[in-house]
Structure 1
Amino acid sequence: MKIKLLTLILLISSSTVFSQTFSGKIVDVYQNPIQGANILNKNTDHHTHSNDLGKFILENCNVGDTLQVSFIGYESKLTVIKDLTKPASIILNYKIINLEEVLITPKINALNVFSDIDIQTNPVNSSQDILKKVPGLFIGQHAGGGKAEQIFLRGFDIDHGTDINITVDGMPVNMVSHAHGQGYSDLHFVIPETIEKIDFGKGPYYQDQGNFSTAGHVGFNTKEQLNNSLIKLELGQFNTQRYLGMFNLLNNKKHHSFLATEFIATDGYFDSSQNFNRINIFGKYTGTISNQDIIGVSLSHFTSKWDASGQIPQRAIDRGLITRFGAIDDTEGGFTSRSNALLNYKKIINSNSSIESKVYLNKYDFELYSNFTFFLEDPVNGDQIRQKEDRIIYGLSSVYNSSFSNEKLTGNWQLGLSLRNDQSKNNELSRTLNRTQTLEQIQLGDINETNLGLSLGTTLNIGKWTFNPSMRLDYFDFKYQNKLNPLYKIENENKAIISPKLNTLYNPTNKLQLYAKTGTGFHSNDTRVVVAREGEEILPKVYGFDLGYIWKPTQKMILNMAYWYLYSEQEFVYVGDAGIVEPSGKTARQGIDLSYRYQPYKFLFWNLDANYTYARSIDAPRDENYIPLAPDFTLTTGINIKLDSGFYSGINLRHLANRPANEDNSIIAKGYTVTDLNLGYKWKKMNIGIQIQNLFNTEWNETQFATESRLQNESESVEEIHFTPGTPFFINSSIQYNF
């Protein structure tokens, strides 16, 4: 009996002692590496993820263990370990997404699974759809399609990017100290069909996110390769046309390159033609130079011109002076262009560590003509203004990532460094007449702004718990030369800020994650504000926390719910349209986020995102503490169908509730509910589709402001809602050929 017991103990001990690591590589059917695949040992519940080269190492494995390999958009695969000494090559087949195979892994930003699902079930097909893929984010256009969209998220009227950090392939989109507004983010240089993945996070909780990441951040990643080349033609109402070409130039196991081109033109649905056109060119190369080195290069150029009807006052419509699609000043409009060069280098040092570095250069031009108050300031010539700048951005970033593991603890730590320099020449605000004559220069100067960032953080997996403490340090140097000052002088201010963060996750199973996130963030003020106020409130902070969960109550549905709170310090904002500094005071926001995805059948998907926010100014009197244009409630929902026969369809609804347009809520920005429809058929190499915006021809206001203005024949000014009308019923057809 003693001998049998001793033998059993020895067998158990030897099993533990000889438990080893297992390595391999995850690839698709074309032998291309899959980054971020989840590898789960079903015998031990240990897991890991594949790296940039598709490679992985899994601890505590034994011969005979069963591994489950999964990644969204691919069929899950079970494989049995037969030999621990030889690396495995595991091939995943493409597949329409199946929620049954989605696992909730202990990632700090596991919410990305929702955008992954949405891209697979309802692909991005317009530049405006790009931002709409972020749950809870709303946008509005109010300048003929050429100006960056207005953004709303978590009770923030973010304007064009003041409180959200936006990147494309790690390259910043936000423009600091921009002629039209701080953080201005124009994504129109991105061709939507090139988007592969969207990384988003809400709140200031992520160490790799610096300036503007207060309400959240969005990172768009473009494709490394094309499965096939294609040409696409779109034709729609209002003389709308779009031509797209995406061409494989090189596609083998180690080297990929493609070229994408886009041209868009439309007259728009306004009474005055918008004369809009946009040209995009994008090229990208990715090469695996060796087993340890990956290099990527992308080049792009974008240019756009347009006329705009601007925001109109309700009283002008009520008096019959104009229609809803008319204009008080139809000489508004603008021009913008952006050229980008990005070099990306990934160095796999060993199985546990890597360095990823980026260097980028952006050349940017901007000229915008607007008229918000009509004849309030100048009863003779009108109040048209020009905002203009020429900018060059230089930048680099580098992140060192090292992982570690043993029987009780796994994790990684990251060290990041970034440097960015913006040089905005002849940053201008002028009064103009009919876009041809300059009446007065209000602001004119050169801006040179530098941001140095350093971040350090670690992720510790202890049993079913994950802890992610991190710290970020940012240093800013602001320089401004006022060219309207007869004496040459460079005004200069600088300051540093530290942003601590802590994320805690609990994953009792691969179907549930509970999380608590907290941290501080900030957004910088315009350089002109910084030097004008001699460094006061340069980098106002935001303090926040999230408490929530991600849960799969059944195999066919996934749910996220969170309660959040954000407190913003006093800040001073440069109002580019008026050339003035305007205090906004302390604010507090809190709310509930809900996201839900359901796949009752293989071909049917339902999505729902609902967001409630209570937003108030802290220092203002109780009846005057509303935050203008802060959304109280938003909702998006849709049903999408994908059949094996090739037929696909989707109907999507978005709702924005009424909201205060001024501090005492005496002026209301009306809410709206708009429904869009798309349907199409894929047959062999052809894809034919129809998209209908505003299916029920709802009369809605896309962007709204409480503005004081005066019409030409008015003796007194009036403050009321000024708005840009939303798209009426609009049908657009497309035909695509793949080759």
Structure 2
Amino acid sequence: MKSVLTIFFILYVLCGWSQEVASGQIMDADSNTPVEFVTVYNLTRDIHAHTDVAGKFQLKDTQIGDSIFVSMVGYERRQFVVETETDWNISLTSAPVELSQVVITPEINTLNKIKQVDLKLNPVNSSQEILRKVPGLFIAQHAGGGKAEQIFLRGFDIDHGTDIQITADGIPVNMVSHAHGQGYADLHFLIPETVQGVDFGKGPYYAEKGNFTTAGYVDFNTFDRISESNVKIEGGRFNTMRTVSMIDLIKGNQNSDAYIATEYLLSDGPFDSPQNFNRLNLFGKYHVKMGNDFLTMQASTFQSKWDASGQIPIRAVESGQIDRFGAIDDTEGGETSRQNFLIDYTSSFDNGDFMETKAFVSKYDFELYSNFTFFLDDPVNGDQIRQKESRTIYGIQSSYNHGTQMASGDLTLIAGAGFRYDDIDGVELSHTRNRTETLDSIALADIDEFNGFAFANATWELNQWMFNLGVRADHFRMEEVDFLQPTYSRKSASQAIISPKLNIVYKPTDNWQLYAKSGRGFHSNDTRVVLREQGQNTLPAAWGYDFGTVYRPFNRLFIDVAYWELYLEQEFVYVGDAGIVEPSGRTKRTGVDVGINYQLSDQLFIYSNLNYADPSALDETEGNDFIPLAPTFTSIGGLTYQGKNLSGSIRYRYIKDRAANEDNSVIAEGYFLSDVNIAYDRPAWTISLAIENVFDVDWREAQFDTESRLANETESVSEIHFTPGVPFFFKAGLAVKF
């Protein structure tokens, strides 16, 4: 730790002496609000800066007569010659999205800029589309629409979130020591239309990102201000109906804004037994500027109920016992709810520094009924289980951002600290029948889990180079009271981990960037694993590196390529479905990611991402070292048209066949699907049409190699059990704006 701090100090000293700098502020011309992340580029001297949360920037070594270029996705580009070195007040006017608005500068996540183009061209309008905005990330739903999606990324079957950190406006989505599985991430409380941006990164290379950031992280950011109110209603196949509203509560005030958003969704799904799925979301946000400070408060409430047909065995379909959309146990399903409250306070100082503090509290309840093995363990009553919990999460994080512009380069120092505390009551696993009768209690406990953390980042930009050095320290304390033990006992354990990061970016030309990323991350094991497997690793580490490039051969074409490798230590996994502990050994994953984004004309865009991975278990013999369900090749892509009033896109997603067990003797089938969106927009209204699975392909959304027994069988069978993917589906919508 001392050596890392020494390096931070050396970086600061190496930067030399301060220079005179140009400064200013950039505002949105329509709303007169600050615009963050704008690139201000000095073409004469090949230096740049970005605006902060207050829209402010400082640009070193800039003199009268220099040529300045200002760019931000979704705004008209500005270019001018410097006439004065201070107090630049620049207004940006909204403009059609173009790839040429993306500027390559030395930074860790350039791909985020390119992805914002896709987000503005194709805004998300369903909870499933939210996560799919991350290149290479695939999802699968296998419990009636209300359960958190299964996630796949970079050779990982992440289950419901074990190896990816997901947040929304900084509020953690992942649940530690969850009744269903470690890292469970239910994002359904987020209304898609409120999403303004998606910040993502692959790998464990980011000091401000902690638990579960092994394959990567995703942070969704909601609008602080909406330009107009709107109400939308959608209807489609399978008795699907959805209403959304976003109401601006304060109009005409340049210093404050407030809006409320609602979502209500009903659907029976394509299944023989209706899902009876319903979801209600309410979200409110207030944002105010107070001098140089900003205060944001938001609150939300979410609840969902559903029935499910669950995963079905292939043999039951092939024998004609049920069809593809049938069920063995149609009493599966569940209900869940969550309430969030967040306060975000940012102080912006005259020297360009700023400090941001976020504090939140979240109340969460969960109940899920599943039956994966049917009559394997109980031939009379069946094997249905109930998983249940109630938790409250408290958290706070504060960070300080200091920028210094020096003769030898720009130095940005960020330091932060905080904690998260989960108070989990009644973590339950029970054997049930028909969702009404409790037969046995398998597990019942109260869990308390505390994570305190601190991090520091130093980013030094020197001409075409950028060096980023980071370190993160996390401390965990876990406690459990097992109520099924004959006597009261509170078990506890503590462990800490230090996670260093080093990232280097080199920009040989204005249109070409090379980078090398490296770092250590981790995901915590379930409290029940830690306390019942004494002496085992609480915080198994992940070591990774990326070597990649982003290249723009000409103004409207971006190509990105990355070779990566990730190594995970020994870990233990608590299997919530069975109430047991299963060890898994060390793993290694290598792969290549390729992305192409091309603007064919002013209105036409095309993109494609191809992702190859080679996952393997290091402690197994060759031929038995496959990682079940880990994807080896995936691809997404599409063609988008963005006209003055008419817009639309056709998109595809493909996942290759992959091993469903350790020796590759059972295969999970891949699929190729196509979706279409069309919208016609007028000042007062918009009509839209969305079509999923245009060619009505029979596909399997979720697949598992499971041993089960049906009611009429004397012996169990191990084979693929699957959830059928949605067939041809359409929904039409009408939105009224005011």
Structure 1 length normalisation: TM-score? Answer: 0.96
2:343 paired residue number: 343
CA distance in 2, matches of 1:456, 1:583: 33
| 1:89 CA drift (Å) | 1.3
Contact 1:494 1:535 in 2 (8 A): no
2:210 paired residue number: 210
1:618 paired residue number: 618
| 1:533 CA drift (Å) | 1.1
CA distance in 1, matches of 2:354, 2:88: 21
CA distance in 2, matches of 1:632, 1:18: 50
Mapping of residues 608-687 of structure 1, within 5 Å: 608-644=608-644, 646-687=645-686
2:562 paired residue number: 562
CA distance in 1, matches of 2:33, 2:289: 10
| 1:648 CA drift (Å) | 1.0
| Structure 1 residue identity aligned to 2:104 | I
| Structure 1 residue identity aligned to 2:474 | D
1:700 paired residue number: 699
| Structure 2 residue identity aligned to 1:207 | A
1:255 paired residue number: 256
1:98 paired residue number: 98
1:278 paired residue number: 279
CA distance in 2, matches of 1:561, 1:22: 35
| Structure 2 residue identity aligned to 1:688 | I
Aligned alpha-carbon RMSD (Å): 1.1
Deviations 1:78-119 (A, max 9, x none): 12222235x121111111211123211112221212321110
| 1:18 CA drift (Å) | 13
DSSP 3-state at the match of 1:302 = strand
CA distance in 2, matches of 1:325, 1:614: 33
1:83 paired residue number: 84
Contact 1:20 1:62 in 2 (8 A): no
| 1:668 CA drift (Å) | 0.2
Contact 1:433 1:439 in 2 (8 A): yes
CA distance in 1, matches of 2:735, 2:559: 35
Contact 1:200 1:216 in 2 (8 A): yes
2:12 paired residue number: none
Whether 1:45 and 2:65 are equivalent positions in the alignment is no
Mapping of residues 381-530 of structure 1, within 5 Å: 381-530=381-530
| 1:346 CA drift (Å) | 0.4
Contact 1:418 1:453 in 2 (8 A): yes
Deviations 1:577-630 (A, max 9, x none): 000110110111000001111001010011101100001101111111100000
Deviations 1:224-274 (A, max 9, x none): 110100000000011100001100012422101110000000111100000
Deviations 1:421-449 (A, max 9, x none): 00110000000001110000000000000
Whether 1:371 and 2:375 are equivalent positions in the alignment is no
| Structure 2 residue identity aligned to 1:297 | M
| Structure 2 residue identity aligned to 1:266 | S
CA distance in 1, matches of 2:248, 2:662: 54
| 1:535 CA drift (Å) | 3.9
Contact 1:393 1:420 in 2 (8 A): yes
Deviations 1:390-440 (A, max 9, x none): 000000001111011122211201111020000110000000001110000
CA distance in 2, matches of 1:72, 1:481: 52
DSSP 3-state at the match of 2:25 = strand
CA distance in 2, matches of 1:115, 1:45: 24
Q: Which deviates more, 573-582 or 461-470? A: 461-470
| Structure 1 residue identity aligned to 2:691 | I
CA distance in 2, matches of 1:287, 1:152: 39
2:62 paired residue number: 61
Contact 1:167 1:173 in 2 (8 A): yes
Deviations 1:178-202 (A, max 9, x none): 0000000000000000001100000
Deviations 1:450-505 (A, max 9, x none): 00011112001112111011111100000000011121111000000011110000
| 1:349 CA drift (Å) | 3.0
Inter-CA distance 68–317: structure 2 relative to 1 (3 Å threshold): same
1:12 paired residue number: none
CA distance in 2, matches of 1:610, 1:43: 37
Percent identity, aligned pairs only, is 51
| 1:352 CA drift (Å) | 3.2
Whether 1:243 and 2:279 are equivalent positions in the alignment is no
Whether 1:574 and 2:546 are equivalent positions in the alignment is no
Q: Which deviates more, 402-411 or 599-608? A: 402-411
Contact 1:106 1:505 in 2 (8 A): yes
CA distance in 2, matches of 1:57, 1:619: 52
Give the number of aligned pairs. Answer: 720
Inter-CA distance 103–716: structure 2 relative to 1 (3 Å threshold): same
| Structure 1 residue identity aligned to 2:140 | G
Deviations 1:23-45 (A, max 9, x none): 11101112111011000111111
Deviations 1:493-523 (A, max 9, x none): 0000011110000012231110000111110
| Structure 2 residue identity aligned to 1:718 | V
CA distance in 2, matches of 1:408, 1:352: 19
2:4 paired residue number: none
| 1:212 CA drift (Å) | 0.2
DSSP 3-state at the match of 1:250 = coil
Contact 1:19 1:62 in 2 (8 A): no
Mapping of residues 571-610 of structure 1, within 5 Å: 571-610=571-610
Deviations 1:674-702 (A, max 9, x none): 10111121122111111110000000000
Contact 1:63 1:83 in 2 (8 A): yes
DSSP 3-state at the match of 1:624 = coil
1:10 paired residue number: none
2:32 paired residue number: 31
Contact 1:652 1:677 in 2 (8 A): yes
Whether 1:361 and 2:361 are equivalent positions in the alignment is yes
DSSP 3-state at the match of 1:159 = coil
Contact 2:242 2:263 in 1 (8 A): yes
CA distance in 2, matches of 1:558, 1:197: 20
Contact 2:654 2:672 in 1 (8 A): yes
| 1:57 CA drift (Å) | 1.5
DSSP 3-state at the match of 1:117 = helix
Mapping of residues 142-161 of structure 1, within 5 Å: 142-161=142-161
CA distance in 1, matches of 2:351, 2:558: 33
